[in-house]
Amino acid sequence: MAGLIEGARAPLVGASLLLRGPRLKRVLVPPVLAVTLGAAWLHGAWISPSIEAFFTLSSDPGPDPSWWQSSLAWLADSWLLQTLSGLSSLIALALTIWLSFTLLFEVIAGPFLDEVHSRLETQWFGRDPRSHSARPDVLDSEAATRRSLQWLLPGGLLGAAMAWFSPFLPWLLAPIGLLIPLLWVTRQDPSYLTWLRWAAGHELSLLLTSAKIALISILMLLIFIWLPFVPLVGTYLWISLSGFVLAMGLCDLAFSRRDWPGRTRMSFMMAQAPAFGAFGVVGGFLVGIPILGPILAVPALSIGSLWLICRLDTGQRAAS
C-alpha cells in the first residue's frame, strides 16, 4: 500500500522539484524547443498525411469483391466490425504518435535531463552514482545550454523557413538549415563540439537498452489490445497496463545512470509493480493534457521517476 501511494505521489513530487529547483528549468529549454520543432515537423511530414490517406482509403469503396462477396458481405457490412476497425485504427494512431514523441524527447532531452538528475542526486546524497570521468570538462551545463539555444533557435527557424519556402526537396533542405547555425556556434566555441560529441555518444550507448524496453512495451500493448473491449473493467485494465508501460519508458534514464542491465530493471519494476503502475497511470493522465501535457509533464515525470526509484531502492532514500 505504501508503494502504491509513493507511486501516485511521484509525478506531483517531480513537478514540485522541477518548479522549485534552482536553475533546473533553464537546462530543459533547449530540448523542449527542439522537441516542439521536431514534433511539428513530424506532424506535417508524416502524421497528417497518414491521417488523410487513412480517411481517403476508408471512403474508397474499392474493387468488386466478386465471387466471395455473398459469403462475407454480412461480415463486411457489420456495424460491430466497422466499429472495431475504427477503434483499432485510432488506438494504433494514438500509440504511434505517443511512441514517436516519447522517443524524440528521450533522444533529444537525454543529456539535459541527465544533468538535472545529476544535480538532484548530488544534492540529495552528496554524490552522483554515475561516474562522469568520461564527460568532458571543457563546458559546464549552463554554457552548454546557452550554446544549444544559440544553435537550436535560429537553426529551427532557418530550417523551417527553408522547408516552407523551398520549391523543391523541402525536407532535404530543412536539416541543412538546422546545421548552418551549428557551424557558426562551433566556430565561435569549439568546446561545444566536444560536448556535443560526448552527448551524442552518450545517447547512442543507451539506445540499445532503450530499444529493448520499447520493444517489450509495444509487445505488451499489442498482446493486450483486446482489453478495452472487455465490459466494465476492460478500460481500467488497459489504462493500468498503459501506465505501467509509460513508467518503464520514463524510468529508463534513472536506471541507466545506475548501469542496471535490462533484466535487473525488469525484475525491480515487477517487484514494485503497484508503485510503478500508479506512477504510470497518474503520469499518463498528466501527459494526456492537451498541448502542454507532453511538453511540460514529461520532464516532471522523469524527475518523479528518479525520486520514486530512490524511494523504492533500499540503498538510497531521496528527500521529498
DSSP string of 142-191, one letter each residue = HHHHHHHHHHHHHHHHHHHHHHHH-SS-HHHHHHHHHHHHHHHHHHH-HH
What is the share, in percent, of the chain residues with pLDDT greater than 90? 4
Average of per-residue pLDDT values in the chain = 72
Question: Which of 5-19, 69-83, 124-138, 247-261 is least confident?
Answer: 69-83
pLDDT at 113: 78
Q: Answer yes or no: do 274 and 245 share one domain.
A: yes
Is residue 52 in a domain? no
Is residue 55 in a domain? no
Q: Answer yes or no: do 279 and 168 share one domain.
A: no
pLDDT at 306: 92
The residue ranking higher by pLDDT, 247 or 14, is: 14
The structural domain count of the chain equals: 2
Is the Cβ–Cβ distance between 228 and 235 less than 8 Å?
Answer: yes
Q: Answer yes or no: do 264 and 155 share one domain.
A: no
pLDDT at 315: 52
Q: Answer yes or no: do 158 and 291 share one domain.
A: no
Q: Answer yes or no: do 116 and 159 share one domain.
A: no
Tell me how far apart the alpha carbons of residues 229 and 234 are, in angstroms, rounded to a whole number. Answer: 6
pLDDT at 71: 45
pTM over 0.75: no
User: Treating both helix axes as pointing N-terminal to C-terminal, what angle do 141-165 and 29-42 enclose, rounded to 10 degrees?
Assistant: 20
Q: Which of 74-88, 226-240, 278-292 has the highest mean pLDDT?
A: 278-292
Tell me how far apart the alpha carbons of residues 240 and 242 are, in angstroms, rounded to a whole number. Answer: 5
Is residue 70 in a domain? no
Q: Answer yes or no: do 106 and 236 share one domain.
A: yes
CA distance readout (Å), 223 to 11, 227, 240, 274: 27, 9, 14, 21
The residue segments making up the domain with residue 32 are 1-42+82-126+206-313
Is residue 68 in a domain? no
Give percent helix, percent strand, percent coil of the chain, each to the nearest 5.
Answer: 80, 0, 20
pLDDT at 281: 83
Spatial neighbors of 264 by CB under 8 A, at least 6 apart, are none
Question: pLDDT class for 236, splitting at 50, 70, 90?
Answer: low
Q: Answer yes or no: do 219 and 88 share one domain.
A: yes
Q: Answer yes or no: do 288 and 216 share one domain.
A: yes
- Phi first, then psi, for residue 226 (nearest 5°) are -80, -10
- Phi first, then psi, for residue 253 (nearest 5°) are -65, -45
Is residue 270 in a domain? yes
pLDDT at 293: 65
Q: Answer yes or no: do 19 and 160 share one domain.
A: no
Is residue 67 in a domain? no
Is residue 53 in a domain? no
Q: Answer yes or no: do 176 and 215 share one domain.
A: no
Mean pLDDT over 70-75 rounds to: 48
Spatial neighbors of 189 by CB under 8 A, at least 6 apart, are 139, 143, 147
Is residue 66 in a domain? no
Specify the residue for cell string 532531452.
109
Q: Answer yes or no: do 118 and 166 share one domain.
A: no
Q: Answer yes or no: do 156 and 230 share one domain.
A: no
